[in-house]
């Protein structure tokens, strides 16, 4: 077992920011992350709402810059999947296939996973017309009619990306109207290849070996119809990756972890940052702020126990 000052679990912006601040504060910092550093932002084509980037930046480029900052600050990376966190006295142990790391403070910033629809045809046709990444797969649907399911910011942003390639993008939402940012809604409504179908529930994704359509229920009149499309992009929200925390702290009914304003959980020395927090706005700037706050709080916690 190796002993360090703080272990950061996760590879997204919250984790990388926490690692940067913790290392700069003089803590021996180890980040336990899988191979893909950057988290959900790797799938974002353009980031236009983070201070300092008026001309936007791709998620992949932004993630690489934040990783470089963490490395330059002195944070060490262990590419492994954290399997458990255990508490023994004043020491927390993060265990993975590469071994155990013990520290007085652990910051968990494991982010979220894209929520699935859970309808027939989704699992069977994933990779055969069903996608969860518009910026990754949109080019494969050039000149075709596709659907985007979801009405939030992620769905709206991806619909605009997909519309640069597809002949037509039908946005399917259950609600009476989009609930993305006003500027994004305006861009969608102006786009000649984007059409919005409100108050429609997706019942099934149709197709044999590839996607051929959607079966929809129109919630206004409770009638069903089929929509012919050749691709389906699903963006209906996120599920918090809080499995590591579930045995240690109470989660809310949606699986999010309650924290104090200093990112403290109910377990001493255990901090949480980013999308997994109950009160997080889940915007990139807030996620970065969470990481910095957690690192400052962890530094204070470690220093108090040294005196």
**Residue 260: how many other CB atoms lie within 10 Å:** 12
Domains of the chain: 2-114+238-306 (3.50.50.60), 122-234 (3.50.50.60)
pLDDT (0 to 100) of residue 177: 92
Q: Are the C-beta atoms of residues 16 and 37 closer than 8 Å to each other?
A: yes
Q: To 10 degrees, what angle do helices 59-73 and 13-24 make?
A: 20
> How far apart are alpha carbons 205 and 172 in whole angstroms?
13
Pair 40, 62: CB distance under 8 Å: no
pLDDT per residue as tens, the chain (307 positions): 899 999 999 999 999 999 999 999 999 999 999 867 888 788 777 788 889 988 889 888 999 999 999 999 999 999 999 999 999 989 999 999 989 999 999 999 999 888 999 999 999 999 999 999 887 889 999 999 999 999 998 899 999 999 999 999 999 999 999 999 899 999 999 999 999 999 999 999 999 999 999 999 999 999 999 999 999 999 998 899 999 999 999 999 999 999 999 999 999 999 999 999 998 888 889 999 999 999 999 999 999 988 7
| pLDDT attached to residue 282 | 81
pLDDT of residue 258: 97
Per-residue confidence (pLDDT) for residue 206, from 0 to 100: 98
Beta carbons of 101 and 80 less than 8 angstroms apart: no
Q: How far apart are CA 17 and CA 273, in angstroms?
A: 10
- Say if CB 235 and CB 150 are below 8 A apart: yes
Bridge partners of 225, per DSSP, are: 216
């Amino acid at each position: 077992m190796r002993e360090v000052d703080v272990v950061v679990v996760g590879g997204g912006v919250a984790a990388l920011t926490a690692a940067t601040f913790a290392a700069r504060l003089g803590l021996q910092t180890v980040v336990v992350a899988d191979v893909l550093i950057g988290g959900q932002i790797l799938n974002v084509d353009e980031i236009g709402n983070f201070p300092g980037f008026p001309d936007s930046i791709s998620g992949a480029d932004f993630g690489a810059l934040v990783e470089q900052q963490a490395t330059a600050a002195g944070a060490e990376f262990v590419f492994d999947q954290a399997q458990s966190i255990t508490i023994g006295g004043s020491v927390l142990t993060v265990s993975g296939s590469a071994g155990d790391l013990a520290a007085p403070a652990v910051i968990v910033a494991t982010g979220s996973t894209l929520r699935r629809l859970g309808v027939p045809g989704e699992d069977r046709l994933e990779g055969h017309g069903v996608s969860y990444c518009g910026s990754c797969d949109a080019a494969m649907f050039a000149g075709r009619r596709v659907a985007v399911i979801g009405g939030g910011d992620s769905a709206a942003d991806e619909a605009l990306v997909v519309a640069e390639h597809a002949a037509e993008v039908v946005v399917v939402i259950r609600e009476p109207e989009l609930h993305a940012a006003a500027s994004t809604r305006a861009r969608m409504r102006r786009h000649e290849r984007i059409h919005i179908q409100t108050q429609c529930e997706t019942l099934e994704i149709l197709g044999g070996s590839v996607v051929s359509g959607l079966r929809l229920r129109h919630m206004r009149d409770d009638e069903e119809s089929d929509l012919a499309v050749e691709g389906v992009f699903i963006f209906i929200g996120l599920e918090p990756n809080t499995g590591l925390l579930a045995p240690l702290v109470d989660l809310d009914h949606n699986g999010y972890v309650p924290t104090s304003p200093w990112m403290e959980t109910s377990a001493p020395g255990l901090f949480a940052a980013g999308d997994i927090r109950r009160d997080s706005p889940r915007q990139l700037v807030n996620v970065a702020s969470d990481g910095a706050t957690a690192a400052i709080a962890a530094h204070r916690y470690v220093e108090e126990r040294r005196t």
